[in-house]
Structure 1
Amino acid sequence: MSLGPVEYIVVEFPGNQFKGDIIPALREVVDKGIIRIIDLVFMRKDEQGNLSVMELADLEKEAAEAFAPLAREASTLFSDEDVKKVGEVMEKNSSVALLLFEHVWATRFRDAVLAANGRLIAGERIPKETVDAALAWKPEEQKALEAAP
């Protein structure tokens, strides 16, 4: 099976405040075929810095039932090293969801590029803060910068 672009994200919930509020938004993009979850790991670090790692099957019944339809095809691709790296940067008294997912929407485009003998030579995810700053940039500020000695 040929996968589309694959990406991972780590979402942290300070104060161990994960309540499942992200599930409806995640369910929407999975159900629409925009992404496919490949792996999903949950981690929790207590006040003393002790780390616990949970796969879907290790979650409480309600949380496991909420996430199960989203991760129907999930496998265990995150390595112990991946989990260790995330654990090192987590804040104490926090929880994280570590998601590995395929950009299903991009598969057709990728196939079209390859069929046209094209190749991707660069790409980067631009942080939201950078996009927001660029959108807030005013032409007057540009002119002022150009006029400065």
Structure 2
Amino acid sequence: MSLGPVEYMVIEFPGNQFKGEIIPALREVVDKGVIRIIDLVFVTKDDRGSISVMELADLQKDAAEAFAPLAREASTLFAEEDVKKVGEVMEKNSSVALLLFEHVWATRFRDAVLNANGRLIAGERIPKEAVDAALAWKPEEQEALGVAP
């Protein structure tokens, strides 16, 4: 099986306040075939710094039932070292979701690029804050710097 581009995310929930609001949004992109979840791991860190790791099967029944349809094909690709690194940087009294997913939407495009003898030579995710700042940049500031459109 040829995978499309694969990416990971580590999403932190301070104060262990995961409210489940991401589940419908995640379900939408999975159901539409935009992404496919490859691995999903949950990590909690208590106020003393002790870490607990949970795979989908380790979750409480309600949470496991909510996430199970999203990760039907999930495997265990996150290594112990991956989880350890996350545990070192996460705040005390917080939880994180480690999400490894395939960009299914990009598979056909990637194949077309490869068939055309193209290759990706650069790429980077631009943080939302940087995009917001660029969009908020006023035209008069751009003119002052001589970069007005």
User: In angstroms, what is the RMSD of aligned CA positions?
Assistant: 0.7
**5+ residue gaps in structure 1?**
none
Residue 19 of structure 1: CA displacement? 2.0
Residue matched to 1:80: 80
The residue correspondences of 1:131-146 to structure 2 (distance < 5 A) are 131-146=131-146
- 1:26 corresponds to: 26
> Offset of 1:144 from its aligned partner?
2.1
**Structure 1 segment 58-137 matched on structure 2, within 5 A:** 58-137=58-137
Which residue of structure 2 aligns with residue 8 of structure 1? 8
For structure 2, the residue ranges without an aligned partner over 5 or more in a row are: none
Distance 2:38 2:50 in 1: 27
The residue identity in structure 2 corresponding to 1:40 is L
The amino acid across from 1:35 in the alignment is I
2:64 is equivalent to residue 57 of structure 1 = no
**Matched residues in 2 for 1:19 and 1:95: separation?**
11
Looking at structure 2, the residues matched to 142 and 58 of structure 1 have their Cα atoms a distance apart, in angstroms, of 53
AA partner of residue 145 (structure 1): L
Partner AA of 1:88 in structure 2: E
Runs of 4+ in 1 over 3 A off after TM superposition: none
1:48-81 CA-partner distances (Å, limit 9, x unpaired): 0100000000000000000000000000000000
State the distance in 2 between where 1:142 and 1:120 align: 31
Amino acid at match of 1:65: E
How far does the alpha carbon of each residue in 1:94-145 deviate from its partner, in whole angstroms, 9 at most, with x for none?
A: 0100000000000000001111111111111000000001111122102223
What amino acid is the match of 1:22?
A: I
**Structure 2 counterpart of 1:102, one-letter code:** E
Q: Distance in 2 between matches of 1:121 and 1:144?
A: 34
SS in 2 for 1:44: strand
| Structure 1 Cα separation of the partners of residues 88 and 4 of structure 2 | 29
One-letter code aligned to 1:126: I
Give the whole-Å Cα distance in 2 for the aligned partners of 1:48 and 1:144.
52
Amino acid at match of 1:107: T
Rounded to whole Å, the distance in 1 between the matches of 2:55 and 2:20 is 15
